Structure 1
Amino acid sequence: MRSSNPVFSRRGFSRDNGYAGFNTAPQAGGAPVGTQGSPYAQPQGNPYATNPYAQQDLQQGAPPQTPVTTGRMTMDDVVMRTGTTLGILIVTAALAWALLPVDDANIGRSYGIGIGAAVIGMVLALVQSFKRTATPALIVSYAAFEGVFLGVISSIVDNRIASGAAMQAVIGTLAVFAAVLVAYKAGWIRVNRRFYGFVMAAALGFMLLMVVNLLFAAFGGGDGLGFRSGGLGILFGIIGVLLGACFLALDFKQVEDGIAYGAPREEAWLAAFGLTLTLVWIYMEFLRLIAILNSSD
C-alpha cells in the first residue's frame, strides 16, 4: 500500500506493487494471508524479508506470528520518535511566539522570519521525502523550523484576528487524531484500495484548486478565486480537515503494516515524520478555518 505522505510512499511502509497490503493479515517474515494470486501482491510477499533482524528471528525458530522486536520497529519506537518531533516543534513554536512580537512595529520582521522558516522546513521535508533512508537530523531540523513558522503564524492569528485561535486549533487537531485512532482501531474505517483511491483523488483535486487560487491571488491580487475566504473558504477548510483525517487513517495503516512486516527500527523516524506532516496539515486547516470564521463576523 502506498501512503498519501511522500515519506511513506518512497519506502518503509509501502510495497512497490501498490496496494498489496490492503485487506491482508500480514505475518512477520512471510507473505500476507490472502495475497496468493492477487494482482496486487509482490512476488516476495514481505517487503522487509531482507531485514537481517527479521531473518535472524526466523532462523532462531520464532514462528512468523510471534511478535519479536529485536532490531525491528515497535509501536513504542513510533510513539517515542513522534513525541520527539512534536516536542521539538512545540518548543520552537513557543519560543517563536514569545520572542517574535507581532505588534504593528514588528509584525513585518516576524512574519518574514516565519515565512523563511517555512521555506527551509519545506526544503528539508522534500529532501527527507526523497531519501531512501531516514535521517534523524533532517527530521528534527524540519520539526524545529516548522515550529518557528507555526509559532509566528499562530501568534498573528491569535493576537490580531481571533483570540484563543491557537488553542482552539490544537484542541481540534487532538480531537481529530483521537477520533480517527478510535475509529481505525474499532474497524469503523476500512483502509482499502477504494478508500485509498478516493482520498488520493480528493487530495489531488484539493491541492490543484489551492495552487490555482494562489496563482490568481499572486497575479490578480485580493483573495484569488475565493477558495480561502468567505463561504468557500469555510467549505474548503472543512474539506481540508476531513482530508487530514483520511491521511491519518492511511498513516495508521502504514505503521501497522510496518510493525507487522518487521520493518527495521530506524523506520520509526519515517513514521514520526509522516505523522508530524499530517498533524501540521490538520492544525493549519483548523487555524485557517477559525481565522475565516472570525473575519466574517
Structure 2
Amino acid sequence: MTGLGAVFRPQLPPERLREVARLADESGLEELWLWEDCFREGGLSTAAAALAWTERVRIGVGLLPVPLRNVAITAMEVATLHRMFPGGRAIVGVGHGVQDWMGQVGARVESPLTLLREHLAALRALLRGERLTVDGRYVKLDDVALDWRPEAAVPVLAGATGPRTLRLSGEAADGTILHAGTSPDGVRKARQLIDEGRESAGRTDPHEVVVYLLTATGPDAATRLRAELVAEGLDSVPDLGVAGDAGAVAKAVQRLAEAGADTVILQPTGDEPDPEGFVRFAGEEVRGLVA
C-alpha cells in the first residue's frame, strides 16, 4: 500500500505544530514531515517535540542541510531520537541545502556532491555502531563512535534532484526524497537514475522513494495552487500538483505511486488557510481512497 503523509510547512509558527501533530496521529496518516528551511524552525528540535506529542505517526525531517551540520552531531541527534522513540518513528533525510542559504551563513562548499557523499558514508556507519577515522575533503573524524548507538537499523534518506545526486542517493543512501516539483514522469526518471547508482554499488536492499505532492483543496484550491506554481517557476511543468476534493487528490497520489513512489507526502500551499483542516482532510478523506 502506498504510504501517505502531510507536511507541516515552516511558514507556520512552531507553536502551531502540537495541534497539527496530534491531528496527524489521530487521523490515520502514516507520516508527518517537517522541513529545516533557513531561517525557520530547526528540524530535529521540532521532530523531537512532535514525536513526544504523538503515539503512532512517523515523523520525517526532509531535510537536514549537511553544510550546516557536523556529521558526528547529526549522528548523535538521530541516534537519540531513535532510542527515545523506537519502532522507526523518526525518519531523517539529508541533502545539499539551498545553496544561497548556505552562502548566507558561510557554509557553502565548493563541491556539494563530495560533501554529501562523505556525510552519507560517515553518518550511516556511525549509526551502525562503527568506530571511524576519516580524513576526507570535508568530513574529518578521529576515532569517533557513538556511545548510545540506535538499537535497530536506521535508514538514512537523501534529498535529490539532479542526475548526479540521484545516482549518489541510490549508491549511498537508503532512500530518496523528491521535491514537489517532481511529476510522475520525473519520478520514473528519478527511479531509473537511483537504480543506476544502486547497481554501480551492488546494492540489492530496499530503497524507499518519498515524493512531495503540492496539494490544495477547498473553494479557492485551483487559484492557490496556480499561484504557488507560478511563484516557484514551475507553472510550465505538466501534471504537477493537484487541486480538488479527496477523489482528485487520491488519483494524483496514485499516479505518483504507479510511477515509482513508495510514499506520497501532501504538501499544502504556503498560504493554506487551515493547516489543521488540511491534515484532517488528508487522513480522514484521502487516506481511505489511496490503494
* TM-score, structure 2 as length reference: 0.21
Which protein is richer in helix relative to its size? 1
* TM-score, structure 1 as length reference: 0.21
- Structure with larger Rg: 1
Identify the structure with bigger relative contact order (alpha carbons < 8 Å, sequence gap 6+).
1
